A and B are shown apart, each in its own frame.
Chain A
Amino acid sequence: MYKTILRRFLIMIPQLFVITLVMFILASQMPGDALTGLLDPNMPLHVIEQMREDMGLNLPWYEQYTLWIAGMFQGDFGMSTTHRRPVEEVIGERIWNTFFLGIFSLTITYLIAMPLGVLAGKYDRTALDKAIAIYIFMALAMPTIVLGIVLIFLFSPIGTGWFPLGGTVSAIVLSSGTPFEIFMSRLHHMALPAITGALVSTIGIIFMLRANIVDKKASDYVSLARSKGVPDRVIFGKHILRNSLIPVASNIGLVIAFTFTGTVFVEMIFNFPGIGRLFLDSISLRDFPVVNVLVLFFAFLTAVGVLLSDIILTIVDPRIRIR
């Protein structure tokens, strides 16, 4: 098992190489570079050329790529061209915001999805199941960003004012509050973005859980247990539910990856200072050192998510062994 995990990790490395390579080639084929838009139009051309030369922008892409990779291995992520600071500092400032938002969003996802999925499966083809189906249809019809607009309209200071808009913590609480108050203020600020990010992921989990439970309810071993006289409560809790949770558990890795990449849209619309928004700002300013590291980071996250899913699957379901 440990060998397989190690092997899968090793396979990931060439895959990540390919991804950075694709990003680099794309960036080099596109017009404009970090100096576009930053320059004073009155600046003489030879000065601009000198700046390009100094930043290594005149090198062919493969030389830039080799330099970049070599730097990465030495722990040097490069310099952000807009912030004029090391990339790891720029990203480090914001990564925790995104991290907490993602965790909060995941918590909400499962808090909504698990009960609804179990109920829809247990009482399938009843009014309750239909009500949950309507929830799924509504969630499917709301693109993340549209949901964001609706939530802002209803619950931010524009509407009822139940939740604040923008930022991560209120300034007054931060200066004079207890750690607990600061924590609560953070949650309060993250609530709307977290719900927005969570809703999409709930659909798949509810669907999966319901389908599994319905499927297991009709299976032979459940009929057998019932004919032996096992109480319904035990049948459901021990035989149906446990087995139905296997795919849901193994899905967690993918949901984690999906939630974190999904924050790109969410952060933008809620003006939330995380790495998703950093990515959008950086790409607009062609700050490729930051963009490249962020793309690599998200690709890595996706790969780890997939691996995590496989590992969890082997733990919860002994019949399956990954090769």
Chain B
Amino acid sequence: MTEVSYLEDDRHLEVVQSAKPPSMIELFWRELKHDYLGMAGLIILVIIIASIYIAAPILTATMNVMQTNLINMNQSPADSGSLLGTDMMGRYIAPLLVVAARNSFNISFAVTTLSFAIGLIVGVVSGFYGGKLDNGIMRVVDTWSMLPSLMFIIAMITLADERTVPLFILFLTMFTWMGRTRLVRAAALQNRNMDYINASKTLGTRNGIIIIREMLPNLVDIIVANFVITLAASIGMETGLSLLGFGLGMEWPSLGTMLQAALQPINLQFRWWTWAPALLLVVTIMLCINFVGNALQRVADPKQRLQ
């Protein structure tokens, strides 16, 4: 009989060494290798975001993108000799589109971040402590969710004294944090009675430290995946509200305000360049974000992984 010492076996040693779990980025990368749509989405998204954030400051510094010009109204790309022609106020579409996309991104990113920040704090506390506190918090969340959020956002924006960016972000956040709270709470509730949490409790670790050091790292992948998908939804929401005139004022170009041109039949029928670029940009951005988000979701849920 030969005795095999497992620790001296080279092959086995290798396994032991690589037993450190792969990081989320590693998993994401592995997932993307099997997912062409996710890869394409990521590449296109990075290109769009990079070019928007590089070009927008340059454009605003070198020219006034909002400069109206009554002689140049409604010129098609061919007539005006510029990239995408001019709109009904004689503004050049192409530079306006870049600035508008940046504004839309900024607003959506802020709204998503804020509502996740609230959702994370309230959700983790509610899910971790459970019991009466959880019951009370969820009752508030339920009642708040019953508010017809779209109507409230529209009402508050219409009634606001002046439409500023922080106010707009605040209103959107006020009516989107509930979903995030539910998500985080459900995940925290699942982790709450798991052995690793109980082990920490037995050792006498304080609750605050358990939440931050033990529980949060286990929630990160779910949160990141949902953050990305919510970002797409926020862009859609901002676009819809601005398009209908319930977003920011005209001095803040966004993808939604640019799409307003499509509400006029004459533009829709004869002047594609006034609305089609903005529309394509919205759809492309949302499509790419969803591709990336889908890959991230599979990272968060091992059952769905492609690899």
Contact = CB atoms under 8 A, between A and B. Distances in A.
Interface of A: 15-16, 18-19, 22-23, 26-27, 30-32, 137-138, 140-146, 149-150, 152-153, 158, 261-262, 264-265, 268-269, 279-280, 283-284, 286, 291, 294-295, 298-299, 302-303, 306
Interface string B70-108: 000000000000000000000000000000000000000
Contacts of A16: 146
Given A137-B290, A280-B244, A284-B158, A146 B282 contact: yes
Contacts of B286: 140-143
A3 B29 CA distance: 53
Interface string B216-259: 00000000000000001001110110011010000000000001
B283 A141 contact: yes
A88 B184 CA distance: 41
Interface string B271-284: 00001000100111
SS class, residues of chain A in contact with chain B: helix
Interface residues of B, number: 42
SS class, residues of chain B in contact with chain A: helix
30 contacts: A18-B143, A19-B143, A19-B147, A23-B155, A31-B159, A137-B291, A140-B232, A140-B290, A141-B286, A141-B290, A142-B283, A143-B282, A145-B239, A145-B244, A146-B259, A146-B282, A149-B279, A158-B269, A261-B148, A261-B150, A262-B150, A265-B244, A268-B244, A279-B154, A283-B155, A283-B159, A294-B151, A295-B152, A299-B146, A299-B148
B265 interface: yes
A62 to B, nearest CB: 19
B73 to A, nearest CB: 21
B159 A32 contact: yes
Contacts of A144: 236, 240
A264 B237 CA distance: 13
Contacts of A283: 154-155, 158-159
Contacts of A143: 235-237, 239-240, 282, 286
Contacts of A269: 244, 263
Given A15-B146, A27-B159, A141-B290, A298 B151 contact: yes
Among A138, A150, A153, which residue has the most Cβ atoms of chain B within 10 A?
A: A153
Given A31-B159, A137-B287, A140-B286, A149 B143 contact: no
A268 B256 CA distance: 15
Contacts of A286: 159
A150 B237 CA distance: 17
A16 B268 CA distance: 42
Contact of A146 (B150, B161, B279): B279
A139 to B, nearest CB: 10
